[in-house]
Chain A
Amino acid sequence: MTNSIILVWLLFLPFVGGWASWQAERYSRYLPRWIALSTMLTVLGISVWLWFTGDYSLAAPSAIPQWTLQYKAEWIPSFGISFHLGLDGLSILLIILTNLLGVMAIGCSWREIDRYVGFFHLNLMWNLAGVVGVFLAMDLFLFFFFWEMMLVPMYFLIALWGHSMPGGKSRVYAATKFFIFTQFSGLIMLLAILALVFLHHSSTGVWSFGYMDLLVTAKQLDPQIAWWLMIGFFLAFAVKMPLVPFHTWLPDAHGMAPTAGSVDLAGILLKTAAYGLLRFGLPFFPEASKDFAPIAMSFGVLGVIYGAVVAFSQTDIKRLIAYTSISHMGFVVIGIYAGTTQALQGVVIQMIAHGLSAGALFILCGEIYERLHTRDLRLMGGLWARFPYLPPIMLFFSAASLGLPGLGNFVGEFLILVGTFPVAPIITIISASGLILAAVYSLILVQKAFHGRPREDGHGAHLEDLSKRELAMMGLMMALLLGLGLYPQPVLDTAAAAMKTVELQYSPAPLAAAASASAP
């Protein structure tokens, strides 16, 4: 195994850049922004370069995970904890998404954030670095470390730069709620991790938090213990995902967060939970997960329907999109627990597409808020006449969100449904109704905000439209969504090996049976 120092750069550059932009605040208001932007562009460049140059297809996909790049150093040897990073097809895709949305988040707060600019970028970039750490960590202590570490900056982003709703709950309330929910569930996961480590120690006599070591131990567990440990992991991921009924922090957090915070939260943070399930939840406890799959999928369906129905009745535009995220993440859960190749591939596409579309929608909400100073749909209406560009772009992303063929979300949802049908037909049928509900809430959003008679709200008949910077950002995201919808093959190829591994770990028996059945 060779140590690839590049992974460490991927992780530490945002830390350093964040620190530098905090310090740069003393000299200029613009310097922090430029430092942050150039750092994130560099990191994005590195990750895209890694994608193009790396080989993510495995020679022979097996149930044993293989990494394209690794980095390993001793950290706390007495507990067998090492600083172990690993990169495979799944992580590289999510890291590129993270860094891309990071650039977008910096771009969209260029004008919005005018207080404490340096400190804002410090928090934003440390949060991004934490997320990248989650996607790279191959040591469970390190994973937990990053998992918790990304919370603090997010807390600050919401609590300091958020918008309190007039007469409603404060942003500090929302931030604290977010923090306590995720920290509490995280500690339960820590219990499960530690239990696993002790079981590993009692069976082998070696202390280790390493992914590969624990993978071996986890597979040999007594079914009942495996069940409880699986629940420990699942709870942490379910809260972060979020699954109904653990979702109540999300609408509050989105409602109060600044635009960059929402982009970050919806686009990236929610994906860490899905990643956790794919990387740890299923591979560690395949049998327990299989027993649990009907329950988890029911939670997923509940999320799909509930998120869509509640989204429909929202008047706050950001809360509406927050609930649609719950609905979309429901599909992800269903796909993960179905565990077939198509479903898992669909999950990857869905995660990326949802990250792009939800991120863009939140950015657009931020733009509308900057101009109208309200996010209340009842106070909008007739906006189509007042801007040339923003409404059609919003329509595009709403269409993406409702799953219009030709855009990335459609590919994701379609693959998930196709892949799930052989495993759980009833679940698939019910959750497919989510697509119809998605059309309802997306169109309601467009109809309420843009159609009808223009309102007299004192901001003039014509509103300032998107600037070139914003148009460029939107254009890029539209192009990516289109690309993902029309030609998803490169992404599918990259994720294929990693997903195949998950599939083989999750359901080795039926596959073998299917292969032998189809052979003659």
Chain B
Amino acid sequence: MNTAMTPLQLTALLPLILATLTSVVVMLTIAFKRHHRLVAGITVAGLNLALLSLIPVIVAANGQAIELTPLLIVDGYAIFYMGLVLITALGVLTLCHAYFEGYSGNREELYLLLSMATLGALVMVCSRHFAGFFIGLELLSVPLYAMVAYPVRDSRALEGGVKYLVLSGAASAFMLFGIALIYAETGALGFAEIAGKLAMGRQGILLAGAAMILVGIGFKLSAVPFHLWTSDVYEAAPAPVAAFLATVSKAAMFVVVYRLFVNVGLFRQPATVEALTWLAVASMLVGNLLALRQDNVKRILAYSSIAQFGYLLVALILAGGRATEAAGIFLLSYLVTALGVFGVMTLVSSPMKDRDVEHIEQFRGLFWKRPYLASIMTTLLLSLAGIPLTAGFIGKFYVIAIGVDARQWLLMGAVIVGSAIGLYYYLRVMIMMFQPIPVRERVSEPLNWVQNAGGAMLMLAMALMLVIGVYPEPFLDLIRASVLVVR
């Protein structure tokens, strides 16, 4: 195989190169001068450049898939999700800047960690080979351990970080073992190559391998019963880091798993489909049920994200065809909404104090104190609940549509029951913000909050969410244009 890169391949690699460069430059800058705003600025600039570099990639690719080594592929699917990952990461970055202003320790390394994790997510989105998948996964996970435990003097954060480290390590080990088993039987690691050789291997061992990989995937997507870490880690992590966990980290994992499913044709294997169906049903029901009795909004959101990925798993189970579209629109609306919700959590907790504002009682009367922030939170919660006019409705509509088309009545029943249960806690948080409070506490927020990066980002997220909800056609076109190349 010719190892030299053609200019076309180099162009396709641009986003990854720029993201890598961002990490290096940030690291060097920190070595010379510690300056919060400077470092944040460099990271934002670097990731924006990576985002902009998608334009030459689109032009160069011209609708074709560009193969970069056996490990990576840049097709429409990868480009779309690279864009999504980068935009979400940028959103998290603006939140980090607002939040960590109040942190007394060294603030700058967080941006280094964040840019590396984003690079990992980009690699995952492009990979078509188990090696690329695993490299990306570790590149994403390892910085995240440190990000969760970033306020090192806070024992809660440390506990969360260690918990995530240990459990995530165990999940990675499972996954690696599963990959090894599959490799032992098929002699291949590329998704497409495996697909051709599945019939040759011994089914028992292949099944064991697939099951172990599924454990690793289930952990990262926090599907029930591999969800136990989620609420603790979300609660312990600083709010913007929890945002990153809930958005970029989960989305990247889903994107690569979806590619794996479609390329290997796993959605045609009854055993995996059955296992995934039960994972999905359990995630929707258990995730929603566990959220009911929580008083901590971060924990509620953690359980809600478990349930949301339960809905999304429906698209994975029915992979191929319209399900790709459904997964795209669902992920898009979920990312926008989740980023916004965690953004509100971050802004009400900024600048960082000993504990984030996270108890449901602390949200009492928020609407009368900070009407815009509370309005944004309300619409975003309605979007998570899947009420019309919001993006969440379009996402859920698509999921139900493909489910009905495939006559998956068990899954559809779970979606409906799950949504009905979910309403309870979304409404509970929502109405708390409207509860009356004594008049003297009704201090309106300073008017310049929108001008802050965090506030502007939130307004954008909400606006985008509403646009997707009211007029989704352009976004659907975009998703349809980003074809996933099979094989």
Q: Which residues of A are interface residues toward B (Cβ below 8 A)?
A: 75-79, 115, 144-146, 148-149, 151-152, 155-156, 159-160, 172, 175-176, 179-180, 183-184, 187-188, 190-191, 194-195, 197-198
Contact = CB atoms under 8 A, between A and B. Distances in A.
Interface stretch (B3-11, B30-38, B399-407): B399-407
Interface in B399-442: 400-401, 404-405, 412, 415-417, 419-420, 423-424, 427-428, 431, 434, 436
Contacts of B436: 115
A515 B416 CA distance: 46
Nearest to B436: A115
B476 interface: yes
Interface of B: 382, 387-389, 393, 397, 400-401, 404-405, 412, 415-417, 419-420, 423-424, 427-428, 431, 434, 436, 471-473, 476-477, 480
Contacts of A190: 397, 400
B368 to A, nearest CB: 8
B389 A78 contact: no
Given A152-B382, A191-B416, A183 B423 contact: yes
Given A76-B473, A144-B388, A179-B423, A191 B431 contact: no
Given A194-B400, A194-B401, A195-B404, A78 B423 contact: no
29 contacts: A75-B471, A76-B472, A76-B473, A77-B473, A78-B476, A144-B388, A145-B388, A146-B388, A148-B393, A149-B387, A149-B389, A155-B427, A159-B431, A160-B431, A160-B434, A176-B424, A176-B427, A179-B423, A180-B420, A183-B419, A183-B420, A184-B416, A184-B419, A187-B400, A187-B415, A190-B397, A190-B400, A191-B412, A191-B416
A148 B385 CA distance: 12
B434 A187 contact: no
Contacts, number: 74
Contact of A76 (B387, B393, B476): B476
A148 B420 contact: no
A191 B382 CA distance: 20
Nearest to A181: B420
B400 A191 contact: yes
B387 A184 contact: no
A160 B365 CA distance: 11
A79 B326 CA distance: 12
B382 A187 contact: no
Contacts of A198: 401, 404-405
A187 B419 contact: yes
Nearest to A202: B405
A6 to B, nearest CB: 22
Residue with the highest number of chain B CB atoms closer than 10 Å, among A75, A155, A187, A197: A187
Residue with the highest number of chain B CB atoms closer than 10 Å, among A145, A151, A152, A156: A152
Contacts of B424: 176, 180
User: Ordered nearest first, which 4 A-B pairs have the shortest CB separation?
Assistant: A184-B420, A194-B404, A145-B388, A187-B416
A148 B427 contact: no
Contacts of B404: 191, 194-195, 198
Nearest to A74: B473
Contacts of B388: 144-146, 148-149
Contacts of B412: 191
Contacts of A79: 401
Given A115-B436, A198-B405, 14 more contacts: A78-B480, A148-B387, A148-B393, A149-B388, A151-B387, A176-B423, A183-B423, A184-B419, A184-B420, A187-B419, A187-B420, A190-B397, A191-B400, A194-B400
B473 A78 contact: yes
A159 B435 CA distance: 9
Contacts of A148: 387-388, 393
A273 B424 CA distance: 23
Contact of B428 (A144, A156, A176): A176
Nearest to B416: A187
Contacts of B405: 194, 198
Nearest to A171: B431
B325 to A, nearest CB: 9
